[in-house]
Amino acid sequence: MIAHRGASAYAPENTLAAVDKAAALGVDWVENDVQRTRDGELVVLHDDSLQRTTDVEEVFPDRAPWKVSDFTAAEIARLDAGSWFDAAYAGARVPTLEQFVHRVEAHGQKLLLEIKNPQLYPGIEGRSSRCWATRAGWTART
């Protein structure tokens, strides 16, 4: 069984809480989505816009259309990625790929990494595989 965007029926998609919930449910595989920020950080988010799953409209009201690629990792780290799902998850953050991989590893899960919109982010495939390989102690070639 694979937990799509983590256990997204039970916790906000693509968050660390969703990984934790998948582990609690005994799910061995977690699927996630990767986007790249303006400053080159890889973050785990399905959409190329922050609008649907964060409070970006409130925090940065003058920055529409709120594309991930228009924000730095530090700016995205300020956003609430949990309240849209349930108030119990208020304060959940958009994780970096590194944070997400670390959590998956901590649970002994396997990762199915989906690179969203590679045409928007030239080179994201190589960066994503290097991040995963580095965490796993491998050497990645791209």
Residues carrying an active site annotation: 4, 46
Which tens digits make up the pLDDT trace of 129-141?
666 555 554 434 3
Architecture of domain 2-136: Alpha-Beta Barrel (3.20)
Residue 6 DSSP class: T
Domain ranges in the chain are 2-136
Which tens digits make up the pLDDT trace of 98-120?
999 999 999 999 998 888 777 77
- 10 Å CB burial of residue 99 (0-12, 13-18, 19+) is middle
Least confident of 18-27, 29-38, 119-128: 119-128
Shortest CA distance to 101 belongs to which of 35, 32, 37? 32
Question: Residue 44's beta-bridge partner residues?
Answer: 34
pLDDT at 124: 75
Which tens digits make up the pLDDT trace of 72-98?
999 999 999 999 999 999 999 999 999
pLDDT at 135: 53
CA 33/CA 14 separation, integer angstroms: 7
Which tens digits make up the pLDDT trace of 31-44?
999 999 999 999 99
